[in-house]
Amino acid sequence: MHPLYPAKDMKGMMHHHKDLIETVQECEVTCEHMTTMIIDKHNVHMRKKQLKLLRDCADVCTLMAKFLARYSVFSKSLAKFCAIVCETCGNECKKFPDEESQRCAQICFNCAKECKEFAVSMM
């Protein structure tokens, strides 16, 4: 039994946490990958804002995964912030027509959606 959550809620919470951890880790990896790809592009000077947001998004997703894994009492608060960062990053990536940026935007938007849902959930 986890000290912060009743035993009856633990099974559902663990499944939800596992799914969300996978989502934020996918977002983290995608943003890190995008950062590397952009650095190698010829128009990197036009993507400074995107680069900064990708780094912020990857970092907050890393922290979010850690908080979820340890069932931190701050997970819901961080999830609200994570959703804002992911949505902002997604909006910036969406501005660029390349396939990688469009895919990254969708992954960021999905992460933002799931973090928002978690932040307001009763679990």
- The per-residue pLDDT for 30 is 98
| Confidence class for position 1, pLDDT limits 50, 70, 90 | very low
For residue 7, pLDDT beyond 80: no
Regarding predicted confidence, which is higher, 11 or 95?
A: 95
Maximum Cα–Cα distance for the chain, whole Å? 55
pLDDT, one tens digit per residue, over 54-78 is: 999 999 999 999 999 999 999 999 9
Domain 8-120 has CATH 3.40.50.300: no
Digit-coded pLDDT (tens) for 8-31: 454 545 556 889 999 999 999 999
Task: Please give, one letter per residue, the 3-state secondary structure of 71-86.
Answer: CCCCHHHHHHHHHHHH
